[in-house]
Chain A
Amino acid sequence: DGGITQSPKYLFRKEGQNVTLSCEQNLNHDAMYWYRQDPGQGLRLIYYSQIVNDFQKGDIAEGYSVSREKKESFPLTVTSAQKNPTAFYLCASSSRANSPLHFGNGTRLTVT
């Protein structure tokens, strides 16, 4: 359910490779977000986008890149510059300011 689809659920990559995580929503939400979750660290904001073709860095953007070419899609690329990429990545969207975030089911990335 939900309306936000993240794929794949599990992703394995070798160190030094870039990898792109997919996030698609059919909720017609303007804003989309990427969070990283590590045990005991809560959810930390990587990037967010309030409208198409515009996005801003969050607290931990280094080593990540995003694009927002379509309202429905907000892919996240984990580059080889990210020093500790193994984590659980959550995509979310919202319809307007000060409204709840709707989360996808997440992608668990393991880099070895």
Chain B
Amino acid sequence: GENVEQHPSTLSVQEGDSAVIKCTYSDSASNYFPWYKQELGKRPQLIIDIRSNVGEKKDQRIAVTLNKTAKHFSLHITETQPEDSAVYFCAASNSNSGYALNFGKGTSLLVTP
């Protein structure tokens, strides 16, 4: 089945700096790549997603890039703020698993003032 690897597992940045989280996937049939943010004790919330026919998508301070040839995608957060501190998960899906999402293990992001 699909295997999604995510790096780094922890990331600490100064407020105002950029943060980058990278993921790779194994199944070339995967065609949907969402990113979720999970605050402590809460449910994951979708922050941005990208489909395989698009190489880059941006929403204010958040952007995602996709390289289908290399099978990797990345989350970029610019001008980080303390409220960006959370665990971020990447995921990938394809028809082989009924479009269920396969998640990476998460990145714990800490933004220090």
Contact = CB atoms under 8 A, between A and B. Distances in A.
Interface of A: 2, 31, 33, 35, 40-45, 48, 50, 56, 58-59, 90, 94, 97-101, 103-106
Contacts of A50: 98-99
| 5 tightest A-B CB contacts, nearest first | A98-B32, A42-B105, A103-B43, A97-B99, A43-B103
Nearest to B94: A98
A63 B95 CA distance: 25
Contacts of A45: 97, 100-102
Nearest to B42: A105
6 contacts: A40-B106, A42-B104, A100-B34, A101-B34, A103-B43, A103-B44
A96 to B, nearest CB: 8
A104 to B, nearest CB: 6
B65 interface: no
A42 B43 contact: no
A56 B1 contact: no
Contacts of B46: 100-101
A31 B99 contact: yes
B43 A41 contact: no
Given A43-B89, A44-B103, A90-B43, 7 more contacts: A33-B101, A40-B9, A40-B105, A94-B99, A97-B93, A97-B95, A103-B43
